[in-house]
Amino acid sequence: MPDRTEQIREIARKWLADGTVEAVVGWEKGTHANRTAPVLVRSPDEADRLVFDENCTNNLMTYLKRPVLKGMQKVGIVAKGCDVKSLIGLIQESQVERDKVKILAVTCPGVKKDDGTVPVKCRACEVNTPEFFDERAGEPVTSNPDPNARLQELEKIDALSLEERHGFWRTEFDKCIRCYACRQACPLCICSRCIAEKNQPQWVETSPHPAGNFSWNLIRAYHLAGRCVECEACETACPVNIPLMLMNRALARTVKEKFDYEPGKDPEAKPPLRTFRLDDDNSFIL
């Protein structure tokens, strides 16, 4: 049985040769031992650049925002289960037309972070074998999610008093340098003009002082509430190691509790924070 890398290359080569797609976004070998880099291949003979291994941590869906890809009729994209979830979000929000993207899904036993540890999302993964795809590479992998993995880290924060929590986040946000790697890496940060880039009026202070950093990080987390699929692209990209996923998981927990909704599962679903329903709970305002 050819391995995942071989299968991905074969499918990509075929798609590029018969014109199914104009280009394929995937991963290629990086410049260091445990890195891979996102790559755009445009011809069948370039398909051999594509690889898949436990270092394929980046979520490639973020590249679907690029004008170079938006201008193409059909784009192929290699995707792990978590990446597919974010694509489902993009389709729900009409950011990507389903028939313009060919999903080359790949089964995935989990990736490794730069320090060799296993990300929380992999410990909690239910989509090792993606079900939403055009073609899929790799032997099926049985999902064995740890039911506590995602919410375990929140217990420490839950146990803090409000003042302690403020102190915790103040320390973390003080590190922020406003590089916006979190935003750029996130597949669901899709605004052509981010709120932090507007100055009429200036909604968010751009200065990386504590007040500005609180504003930025909280607003970004809120803008992703009910949309974030916990792919961890943001936290992985952050150069100053802010535990962004704590916020994202806390908000996901609230959305699940209040709306019984989990993003990234059903392309037909209507995300609760973007949908008006007559039976919306109004008890807290009326």
The footprint of other proteins (CB under 8 A) covers 30-33, 35-40, 58, 62-63, 66-68, 115, 177-181, 183-185, 197, 205-209, 212, 236-237, 239-241
| Comparison of 92 and 236: residue with beta carbon closer to other proteins | 236
Instruction: Provide the minimum distance between the beta carbon of 38 and other proteins in the complex, in angstroms, as a whole number.
Output: 4
Instruction: Provide the minimum distance between the beta carbon of 284 and other proteins in the complex, in angstroms, as a whole number.
Output: 31
Asked if residue 48 lies in contact with residue 171, where contact means CB atoms within 8 angstroms, the answer is no
Instruction: Provide the minimum distance between the beta carbon of 204 and other proteins in the complex, in angstroms, as a whole number.
Output: 11
Amino acid at position 4, single letter: R
Helices (H), ranges, the chain: 4-17, 67-70, 81-92, 120-123, 149-158, 162-174, 181-185, 210-223, 233-237, 244-259
Q: Cis (ω within 30 of 0) for the bond into 208?
A: no
| Comparison of 174 and 262: residue with beta carbon closer to other proteins | 174
| Comparison of 228 and 255: residue with beta carbon closer to other proteins | 228
| Comparison of 64 and 255: residue with beta carbon closer to other proteins | 64
Structure tokens at 54: 């436990």
Q: d(Cα 99, Cα 107) in Å, to the nearest integer? A: 22
| Comparison of 135 and 172: residue with beta carbon closer to other proteins | 172
Instruction: Provide the minimum distance between the beta carbon of 115 and other proteins in the complex, in angstroms, as a whole number.
Output: 5
Asked if residue 237 lies in contact with residue 220, where contact means CB atoms within 8 angstroms, the answer is no
Instruction: Provide the minimum distance between the beta carbon of 270 and other proteins in the complex, in angstroms, as a whole number.
Output: 30
